[in-house]
Amino acid sequence: MSGIQGVDKLLPRLNSLVPDFVQAESPEFVAFLKAYFEFLEHETVVLKSQSTIDNVGLEDGSSLLYETATISPSTTADNKILLERTVDNPTASADPFTVGEYLVGNTSKAVAKINVVNGDQLFVKTISGLGFKNNETVTGRTSGQTGVVSTYKESSIRANNKILEYSDVDKTTESFLEYFQKDFMPSLDASLNSNKRSTIKHIRDLYQKKGSPDSLKFLLRLLYGQEAEVSYPFDNTIKSSESSYVSERRMVVNIPIEKDRPQATDTITEYEGGVVYAQGIVNIVYPVVGSDTLFSLDITNVASKAFREGSGIELLDRNTKIKRAGTV
């Protein structure tokens, strides 16, 4: 989205604003107004630093723009003209910023045309984007020169025309985003956000889902722009005596008294010397056809040992606590 759409410029309307007699009698005043309006329509980029550029040394060793490390150690006859190149710029043959080239923000992706170069101060007109960010690196498309932005100031005319749009997080300037961040997400470090505008727009959803796996995935997506998989150690922890595995067995018991027939949910126990030898829970009771005292039981073992054939057992009713005797 272009950063200059909808801006009402004054310079193209200058002739209609200034009376004809003023234009005829005071051309210097008209020229002043033109320059002043041009100044109002420019944005100002102040660089805190630029990548160092070496200069050109002459063959005769004169002191006109030369590199000391190359000229000084050698004799005049051996001196060569040095090509201009950078010391700390990835583009080795970069030139200084020049009027007419386009300036590109490495982080904001804003594009602006340079109209005036005054040392570390550049007067530009935005072509695309919403302005440059403080401390971001900007690169000249033609020269290849880089610099770090200290401050960025919008043009006065553009700011006046778009003042109501600053309340829209999608259209506001990079500098205004800091105020949104302080109001809506003061606990988050905005410098970590891969997309600060998107984070501010969706911070409410993050707060509403706070603590859930979805909120963790959403937070990492906002901060780093990557999908995450949430895993809790609790879900992968093996706990003793909490296994859901059960061993179901079938056994036949003889209950001599008909009224003492076993019931589902009874606890069945075999003792040895007064100590529990085997124990289980009755799940289903099947009467054996042709017998009034034999019953087939499906049980779930509680104790690890198996019941022994011919041994005595005790049935305990879970509800009435009545005990009944029998034989395996």
What digits encode the pLDDT tens for the residues 15-25?
A: 777 888 888 88
The secondary structure of residue 290, as a DSSP letter, is T
Q: Is the pLDDT of residue 9 over 70?
A: no
Q: Which residue has the higher pLDDT, 38 or 132?
A: 132
CA 51, 137, 134, 142: dihedral to nearest 10 degrees? 90
Task: Supply the CATH classification number for the domain 248-327.
Answer: 2.40.30
What's the token pair of residue 289? 């056809």
Evaluate if residue 41 carries a pLDDT over 80. no
Tokens representing 274 are: 């007064």
pTM of the model: 0.42
Cα–Cα distance for residue pair 178/166, rounded to 1 Å: 12
* pLDDT tens track for 146-162: 889 988 887 777 777 67
Mean pLDDT of 192-208: 71
Counting Cβ atoms within 10 Å, is residue 198 exposed (0-12), middle (13-18) or buried (19+)? Answer: middle
Contact 190, 174 (CB under 8 A): no
pLDDT cut 90: percent of the chain above it:
12
State both tokens at 151: 């401050």
Average pLDDT over residues 277-296: 89
Q: Is the pLDDT of residue 76 over 50?
A: no
Please check the confidence at residue 142 and state whether its pLDDT lies above 90.
no
Neighbour-count burial of 315, counting CB atoms closer than 10 A to its CB (0-12 exposed, 13-18 middle, 19+ buried): buried
Report pLDDT digits (tens) over 232-250. Answer: 887 777 776 655 555 678 8
- Tokens (6 digits) for 164: 């109501």
Look at residue 63 and tell me whether its pLDDT is greater than 80: no
List, as one string, the DSSP characters of 54-74.
-----TT--SSS--HHHHTTS
Q: How confident is the model at residue 66 (pLDDT cuts 50, 70, 90)?
A: very low
Residue 111, φ and ψ in degrees, nearest 5: -125, 130
The mean predicted confidence, pLDDT, of the chain is: 77
DSSP 214: H
User: Which of 34-43, 165-174, 228-237, 309-318 has the largest mean confidence?
Assistant: 309-318
Residue ranges, comma separated, of all CATH 2.40.30 domains in the chain are 248-327
305 vs 248, 262, 270, 298, 302, CA distance in Å? 13, 21, 10, 16, 9
Q: What percent of the chain has pLDDT over 70?
A: 74
Residue type, 262: P
Confidence category of residue 88, pLDDT binned at 50, 70, 90: low
Rg, C-alpha atoms of the chain: 43
Query: What residue has token string 């109002």?
Result: 40
